[in-house]
Amino acid sequence: MMIQVENLNKSYNKNICVLKNININIKKGEIVGIVGSSGCGKSTFLKTLNALEPINSGSIYIDGIKLDSKKNIREARKKIGIVFQGYNLFENYTVIENITLAPIKVKKMNKEDAYNKARKLLKKIDLMDREDFYPHQLSGGQKQRVAIARCLAMEPLVLLFDEPTSALDPQMTLEVLNVMRELKHDGLTMVIVSHELRFLSEIADKIVFMYNNTIWEESSSYDFFNNPKTNEASEFLSHVKSF
Ligand SMILES: Nc1ncnc2c1ncn2[C@@H]1O[C@H](COP(=O)(O)OP(=O)(O)OP(=O)(O)O)[C@@H](O)[C@H]1O
Ligand SMILES: [Mg+2]
């Protein structure tokens, strides 16, 4: 298993439980889509997987490493990348500097190797001619692709995506989704929070439907979209039927 979550509970304030008894196993190479209405805990859940948010009880294992000590969290984080809706690029660094910063600083990769690797990634995201641009000179879709490349430069086993395309127009959304499709072919494990249901129905192996701050339904992608098990999931899908 790449990700194991057991009896996870989380609240920000003492009496409001934001994640209630979450249990899930995600296999190596599996693509999991997380859907559910606003406020049900999707972003919080992704953050707990990267130990960006502390939990109140339960256990999380990333590639067998339990997130229960600083040392383990440091080890686990080497295996996980996270891509947010906002791109979080360093505005005062160029594209290639953004991508090579962590490999050089954290992984102690030498500069030449890091730059060679970054150029391969730029090819993958189709931005070879933009390496010396600054983030403000890029479109939203280009920035988001750089954000993905920056994660990939650390060679993660798992990538978490929190609504990676929600700030983008349809054309830029397509460009980002195409990059994500390629990552599936590379065998990366991905957990994707998205409202792009058509995309999820195509790329995801499994859909997790969150409702009432817990996992209400977990199904194969095909079953979730064609034959949801719960009334709540049916209702959710009927509201977003336009997909
Ligand atoms: N830092 C915080 N402090 C206190 N409460 C928070 C914090 N972050 C989120 N919450 C609360 O936790 C709940 C879940 O928030 P979360 O952002 O995980 O939802 P979401 O499913 O990602 O929603 P959306 O679809 O709108 O992004 C919400 O009720 C929110 O108000
Ligand atoms: Mg969210």
Tell me the C-alpha distance between 114 and 218, whole Å.
39
User: Ligand 1 pocket check: which of 9, 14, 43 to mutate, most ligand atoms within 8 Å of Cβ?
Assistant: 43
SS3 121: helix
Looking at residue 86, what is its pLDDT? 81
* Ligand 1 and 41: CB distance under 6 A: yes
230 within some domain: yes
Protein residue whose Cα sits closest to atom 26 of ligand 1: 38
Looking at residue 241, what is its pLDDT? 60
User: Which segments in the chain show pLDDT lower than 50?
Assistant: none
* Ligand 1 and 35: CB distance under 6 A: no
Q: Give the number of the atom of ligand 1 that is nearest the alpha carbon of residue 53.
A: 1
* Ligand 1 and 141: CB distance under 6 A: no
Number of domains in the chain: 1
Looking at residue 96, what is its pLDDT? 98
Counting Cα atoms < 13 Å in the Cβ hemisphere of 232 gives 15
Protein residue whose Cα sits closest to atom 9 of ligand 1: 44
* Ligand 1 and 42: CB distance under 6 A: yes
109 within some domain: no
Looking at residue 28, what is its pLDDT? 95
The model's pTM: 0.93
Looking at residue 242, what is its pLDDT? 54
141 within some domain: no
Residue with tokens 């993958």: 124
95 within some domain: no
* Ligand 1 and 86: CB distance under 6 A: no
Q: At what angle do helices 111-124 and 140-152 cross, to 10 degrees?
A: 130
Looking at residue 226, what is its pLDDT? 94
Looking at residue 45, what is its pLDDT? 97
52 within some domain: yes
* Ligand 1 and 18: CB distance under 6 A: yes
Query: CB 242: neighbour CB atoms within 10 A?
Result: 6
Longest dimension (CA), the chain: 56
Protein residue whose Cα sits closest to atom 6 of ligand 1: 12
β-pairing, 214-220 vs 206-211, is: antiparallel
177 within some domain: yes
10 Å CB burial of residue 55 (0-12, 13-18, 19+) is buried
Looking at residue 55, what is its pLDDT? 96
CATH code where residue 214 lies: 3.40.50.300
Expressed as residue numbers, the domain containing 176 is 3-88+157-239
Looking at residue 239, what is its pLDDT? 86
235 within some domain: yes
96 within some domain: no
User: Ligand 1 pocket check: which of 18, 56, 214 to mutate, most ligand atoms within 8 Å of Cβ?
Assistant: 18
Alpha helices in 186-220 (DSSP H): 197-203
User: Ligand 1 pocket check: which of 10, 12, 193 to mutate, most ligand atoms within 8 Å of Cβ?
Assistant: 12
